Amino acid sequence: MWKVDLSDIIELQANIDRLEEKKKLLDAKRPLAQVALERLREAINVEWTYNSNSIEGNTLTLNETRIVLEDGMTVKGKSMREHFEVTNHHDAIAHLEKLVISDSPILEQEVLHLHSLVMLRIEKDFAGRLRNAGVRIVGANFTPPNALKVPDLLSELIDFVNANEMGLSPIVLASVFHHRFVWIHPFFDGNGRTVRLVMNLLLMRKGYPPAIILKNDRKKYYDALNRANGGSYAKLVLLMVQAMERSLDIYLSLYPEMEEYRPISNIVAESPKRYGQEYVSLLARQGKIDAYKEGRNWFTTEAAIREYVVNRKRKRK
């Protein structure tokens, strides 16, 4: 069983602890109202499909993605492949949701089947099949392993996740899986969409909502994966934590007693003498305050900023 050095993520433990506390809070509030939960699930699944496809170059907008899925319409000027990428991914999520109810270890056949759904009607000859030749990835700082090694490497990774001998938290384990899967690059195409599905299968089986890596974070995402190739996981884990925090906050927002998250610019405008927008935005990007991203804007609460300021003052004493 291979090992991984995670010494550089120690500074993120407070962020990970905060996620786990939010999950406990969400668990304590369940069951959610079924109507509200179903609407939120549908909205998140559309976002998930849009962002995951956009990271890979699909040019359909969020609204166009919704039209394709909800109205069954085609969008003028967009290729049939892009339409199939949308419907395929949405079908893969529907299948994944059936897999979530099982608490069994992740199986290689589940990974292969999710890939087959992602690639259906696009590259059907290779859908659900491991690559049998070499590949090169433009812009990456590594070359994927020889195709002959792929079956054993994938099995080894799945065994690593199922055993979890290092006792990693769900978010860290999913991050390590995410990187290693991308490094193995088991398929000719569809690796990114598949790994983001399987990563969420791991998390959702532990009771978490899906973590959605945003299209606007594409450059940061690829940089984090490249850093992980060099042995540094901090950037990737932070990105995963922020993606999960956004999802948890969205689910918790269904409850009226929860404090509302607002754009940092709005909070700063109300208290210009207390907070600077650049400073608070930097704290959000670095994961030092409870915050999440929507598009290019960061959202937080005034309580989260106050808590950080108070804790910093305590440390100085």
Residues marked as catalytic? 185
Q: Supply angle C-alpha 226, 228, 231, rounded to 5.
A: 125
CB 199, CB 174: distance < 8 Å: yes
CB 298, CB 282: distance < 8 Å: no
Contacts of 60 (CB under 8 A, 6+ apart): 50, 53, 54, 68, 75, 78, 82, 83, 86
Tokens 């994927």 found at: 144
CA atoms 110, 114, 117, 119: torsion sign: negative
CB 89, CB 71: distance < 8 Å: no
User: In this structure, which long-range contacts are made by residues 84-88, counting pairs with CB atoms below 8 Å and at least 24 apart in sequence?
Assistant: 84/120, 84/121, 84/122, 85/53, 85/56, 85/58, 85/122, 85/193, 86/49, 86/50, 86/53, 86/58, 86/60, 88/117, 88/118, 88/119, 88/120, 88/121, 88/122
Return the H-helix or E-strand segment holding 230. Answer: none
Q: How far apart are CA 277 and CA 57, in angstroms?
A: 32
Q: How far apart are CA 59 and CA 79, in angstroms?
A: 9
CB 176, CB 168: distance < 8 Å: yes
